[in-house]
């Protein structure tokens, strides 16, 4: 029998990590919660969770060398999944209260406060996945659980996207006072603004699709 995929959930002090660990174990992954760089580098899949402020999450990531681990993994085509603020920090920068913080820069674009009558955006919402999405296969009509005040409203591709080593990202959208990026699938890098680990059966199926891709 083939061994289950080994997944590291990066433990850097920001994120509801226990629920993510349990959700990944339920869909067949062997999961380790650690800040150890070597373990994070060598795992079949790396999950970057994140809750709270963009700047604080970036500081926590840098303290454990998570920025370097993400860079190296993606350079080698090794899968990474960002969740909530763990998705937001993949963008070039975040703006909170007028303060700009540099992100991991895996994608261009800015994470900004939602412009909606009610913020945070909290609860179940539908999403619009793209054609051919692997993460959302069979989940086009499902709802997912969001808790956030900030989001990216676009993922602007540079003009020389044709020379980029990865194909253009597949974007999934949702709406709260305007459209925002709800998920991205970009070669080995995938991310969701919502919490799949809190999204019931649909979230479990999405995580299962990701884990199956590690086999």
pLDDT in tens, 199-214: 999 999 999 999 999 9
**Domain-embedded: residue 112:** yes
With bands split at pLDDT 50, 70 and 90, how would you rate the model's confidence at 1? confident
Q: What is the pLDDT of residue 14?
A: 82
**Domain-embedded: residue 68:** yes
pLDDT surpassing 80 at residue 128: yes
pLDDT surpassing 70 at residue 148: yes
End-to-end C-alpha distance for the chain, whole angstroms: 12
User: CA–CA distance from 127 to each of 9, 78, 172, 181, 202 (Å)?
Assistant: 25, 26, 7, 9, 12
With bands split at pLDDT 50, 70 and 90, how would you rate the model's confidence at 159? low
How far apart (Å, rounded) are the C-alpha atoms in residues 196 and 150?
A: 18
Which residues lie below 8 Å from residue 44, measured CB to CB, with a gap of 6+?
Answer: 5, 6, 7, 78, 79, 214
- Number of domains making up the chain: 1
pLDDT surpassing 70 at residue 160: no
- Catalytic sites, residue numbers: 84, 195, 197
**Domain-embedded: residue 197:** yes
How far apart (Å, rounded) are the C-alpha atoms in residues 165 and 159?
A: 14
How far apart (Å, rounded) are the C-alpha atoms in residues 159 and 166?
A: 14
Q: Which two tokens stand for residue 205?
A: 């199926």
Nearest CA among 45, 82, 75 for reference residue 215: 45
Residue 156: which domain range? 6-212
**Domain-embedded: residue 138:** yes
Nearest CA among 83, 66, 63 for reference residue 74: 66
Helix axes 17-26, 200-212, angle to 10 degrees: 70
Q: What is the pLDDT of residues 19-34, one digit of tens each?
A: 999 999 999 999 999 9
Q: What is the CATH number of the domain that holds 25?
A: 3.40.50.880
**Domain-embedded: residue 11:** yes
**Domain-embedded: residue 1:** no
Q: What is the pLDDT of residues 163-178, one digit of tens each?
A: 545 578 999 999 999 9
pLDDT surpassing 60 at residue 147: yes
């Amino acid at each position: 029998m083939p061994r289950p995929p080994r997944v590291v959930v990066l433990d850097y002090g920001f994120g509801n990590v226990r629920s993510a660990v349990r959700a990944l174990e339920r869909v067949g992954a062997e999961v380790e919660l650690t800040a150890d760089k070597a373990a994070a580098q060598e795992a079949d899949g790396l999950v970057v969770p994140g809750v709270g402020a963009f700047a604080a999450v970036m500081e926590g990531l840098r303290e454990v060398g998570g920025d370097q681990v993400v860079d190296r993994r993606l350079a080698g085509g090794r899968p990474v999944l960002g969740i909530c603020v763990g998705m937001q920090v993949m963008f070039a920068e975040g703006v909170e209260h007028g303060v700009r913080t540099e992100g991991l820069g895996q994608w261009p674009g800015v994470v900004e406060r939602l412009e909606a009558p009610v913020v945070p955006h909290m609860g179940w919402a539908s999403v619009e996945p793209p054609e051919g999405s692997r993460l959302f296969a069979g989940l086009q009509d499902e709802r997912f659980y969001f808790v956030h005040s900030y989001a990216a409203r676009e993922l602007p591709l540079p003009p020389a996207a044709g020379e980029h080593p990865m194909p253009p990202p597949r974007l999934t959208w949702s709406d709260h006072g305007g459209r925002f990026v709800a998920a991205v699938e970009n070669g080995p890098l995938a991310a969701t603004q919502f919490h799949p680990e809190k999204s019931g059966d649909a979230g479990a199926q999405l995580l299962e699709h990701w884990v199956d891709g590690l086999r």
